[in-house]
Amino acid sequence: MNKRQLNILKQLNETIEYITTVDLATEYKCSRMTISKDLDVLEYKLNKENVYLERKQGLGIRIFNVEKNKAKVERLIDKNVMKNDVSNFDDRRIKILIYLLLNSDSYTPINKLAKDYYISRTSIYNDLDNLKEVLSSYKMSIEVGNKGVRVVGREADLRALLANLIIHIVGKDASYIYEYQDLRHDGLRKMDENDLFDKDLISFIEKTLNDIEFKLRMVINEPYYTNLLTHLMIMINRVRQGNVLEEDLDVIYLKKNSIYKACIYLVQELEKHCQIEIPESEKYYIYRYLNSIGIEYEERDHRSLSNREELFAQLLLEVLAQMNYIDADKDPEIRKKILLHIKPMLNRLDYQIIIKNPLVDDFKANYKKDFILVKIASLIICDQMDLKAISDDEIAYLLSYVLIKKDLEDDRKIKTCVICYSGVGTSEFLAKQVDKEFSEVEIREIISFKSFESKNLEDMDLILSTVKLDRPMDYLQVSAFLSDVDKVNIKEKIASINKKRFIKLEAIEEKRDHLDYRMVFEDRNLKVFIRKANTNSLYKHRDSYYLDYKDYFYINNAIDNILE
């Protein structure tokens, strides 16, 4: 469950009254469709605990017999709160952690923290115990002694966690899967409200970034804008304290392009305004960051794209097409959209720059199959191109571009071609009858017998023709008026096609993730592992699925079987 789903569940568990999806959508600033999908997730989780949702048209939704089931629901909520997830920390713990990170040079007395947050020393020690897990995930630790407490770790790791925490504070749930642009001013306002940094400095950096956008005729998109601004604020704070990045970075390889000029301008303005000297390692890091953000030029020249980016986009679309997930030929614009993200993404991969995607949990919950397929395709491409694996945050951004252009029809539908001797008019008449009668069918081609010979129909699941076809192929001959006998034959054919799609699932006694498998997805009730093999097979051990594949189309069917 993501944070919003947990909050909705808490809300439902605290009242016997019905709550409408309209009220929930308004409260959480998202669409009713998103709320509906959240409720489907909650209903599935609750049903496993023998707790049920009661839905009534015109009234809304509530937990059936909530008083009796309250303890069960509370246990479910506790089970789904991940202690090492920053998004599930309360505001106090986040502020304590930010304070300790910003003041890591010296010990902070426990009494000071207890006094500042109006809680006991025991509560502070409990908070510190909870913070240890998230710090360890960033290769840092807490050091407690007679003088107080301090965070110990590398400067680069410290800044990465600081950025994550601050992005979490200024983050905002988006209503739609590709709504990022309106976050900018809201994020700046929240930085002001939380007193995270000096307000005048925030305003100055914002003005300087706006100047860069104007001079170079480019737009720094969200969430990159907030990520960049956050990095600059953290850098200035740390440089003022004498803490600089340890990396010995070679600046010889800086390209003297427009990004380089923007970097130099930004550094000079910051040095003047803040009266500090920014060392070379920090300058190079700013350059890498600018070179790794989603920049849109008013006159974008796609010739500036490298062969690597073009190859990654081409291979990604080819693999997804072979999975029968997208039809790239049907919409050539999808390649252009994906390229907009791939260039900065690969730069971030090179420079080991991590960005956070505020919608990654929403994608995993609401577009689970889509997320898994794009993740698998990306892993396959990274292996082929000898690249590091792409993070889930980046996968979610890639998926957002795919979903904008992807035909959102169910790719499990039976792809059908209709052929008639007398022409397209009769074919369309037959196609309408078939479409009306069989909801599982999707008419992809309507052609005349004359043009039949020149068509490649290999990717069709079902071919219906009013005439006998000379070409040796699997098809059904039907009447143009679709008789009752035709309907029975089509129904049996569809059943036969679906039966072929069903994958035998073999239960196994032991885990297999030590046998060269790679995990591609994990949530509370599901783990999916894959590996390239000589056969197509699917195994299950408890909540873990192990997928062996030799061809890409099998992956799509296997994921469908896993999620059903």
**Across residues 479-487, what is the average pLDDT?**
90
What confidence score (pLDDT) does residue 169 get? 65
Q: Which residue has the higher pLDDT, 172 or 123?
A: 123
For residue 298, pLDDT beyond 50:
no
Pairing assessment for the beta strands 505-507 and 476-477 based on DSSP bridges:
unpaired
| CA–CA dist 98, 131 (Å, integer) | 11
Nearest to 73 by CA among 49, 43, 44: 49
HSE at residue 449, side-chain half, CA atoms within 13 A, is: 12
What confidence score (pLDDT) does residue 422 get? 64
In Å, how far from its chain's centre is CA 500?
31
Q: Tokens 């997730």 map to which residue? A: 41
Structure tokens, 129 = 């115990």
Give the lowest-confidence range in 150-159, 392-401, 499-508: 499-508
Structure tokens, 497 = 């096609």
What confidence score (pLDDT) does residue 299 get? 38
Confidence of residue 4 (pLDDT cuts 50, 70, 90): confident
| CA–CA dist 95, 99 (Å, integer) | 6
Structure tokens, 33 = 């469709």
- Top mean-pLDDT range of 2-16, 489-503, 524-538: 524-538
Residue-wise pLDDT for 19-77, tens only, equals 998 889 888 878 888 888 889 888 888 988 888 898 888 889 999 888 888 888 887 87
Confidence of residue 477 (pLDDT cuts 50, 70, 90): very high
Give the lowest-confidence range in 52-61, 73-82, 94-103, 401-410: 401-410
H-helix or E-strand spanning residue 487: helix 484-501
For residue 429, pLDDT beyond 80:
yes
In the chain, % of residues over pLDDT 70: 83
| CA–CA dist 218, 210 (Å, integer) | 10
Give the lowest-confidence range in 156-160, 477-481, 518-522, 552-556: 156-160
| CA–CA dist 130, 541 (Å, integer) | 31
Residue-wise pLDDT for 349-394, tens only, equals 887 777 777 778 888 888 899 999 999 999 999 999 989 899 998 8
What confidence score (pLDDT) does residue 202 get? 83
In the chain, % of residues over pLDDT 90: 19
User: With contact defined as beta carbons under 8 Å apart, do 109 and 147 qualify?
Assistant: yes
Pairing assessment for the beta strands 526-532 and 518-523 based on DSSP bridges:
antiparallel
For residue 236, pLDDT beyond 80:
yes
Average pLDDT of the chain is 80
What confidence score (pLDDT) does residue 178 get? 31
For residue 109, pLDDT beyond 90:
yes
What confidence score (pLDDT) does residue 275 get? 92
Confidence of residue 177 (pLDDT cuts 50, 70, 90): very low
pTM, whole model, 2 decimals? 0.56
User: Which alpha helices (DSSP H) does 138-276 contain, by range?
Assistant: 155-170, 183-193, 199-215, 224-240, 258-274
Q: Which residue has the higher pLDDT, 240 or 332?
A: 240
Following DSSP, what letter does each residue of 6-54 receive, concatenated? HHHHHHHTT-SS-B-HHHHHHHHTS-HHHHHHHHHHHHHHHHHTT--EE
What confidence score (pLDDT) does residue 372 get? 95
What confidence score (pLDDT) does residue 363 get? 86
Residue-wise pLDDT for 431-476, tens only, equals 889 988 898 888 888 888 877 877 888 778 899 998 888 778 889 9
What confidence score (pLDDT) does residue 196 get? 59
What confidence score (pLDDT) does residue 409 get? 47
In Å, how far from its chain's centre is CA 416?
32
What confidence score (pLDDT) does residue 192 get? 52
**Across residues 213-242, what is the average pLDDT?**
78
Q: Tokens 């509530």 map to which residue? A: 62
What confidence score (pLDDT) does residue 83 get? 40
Residue-wise pLDDT for 509-550, tens only, equals 788 887 889 999 988 789 999 999 999 999 999 889 999 999
For residue 248, pLDDT beyond 60:
no
What confidence score (pLDDT) does residue 428 get? 81
Confidence of residue 295 (pLDDT cuts 50, 70, 90): low
Residue-wise pLDDT for 138-149, tens only, equals 889 999 988 999
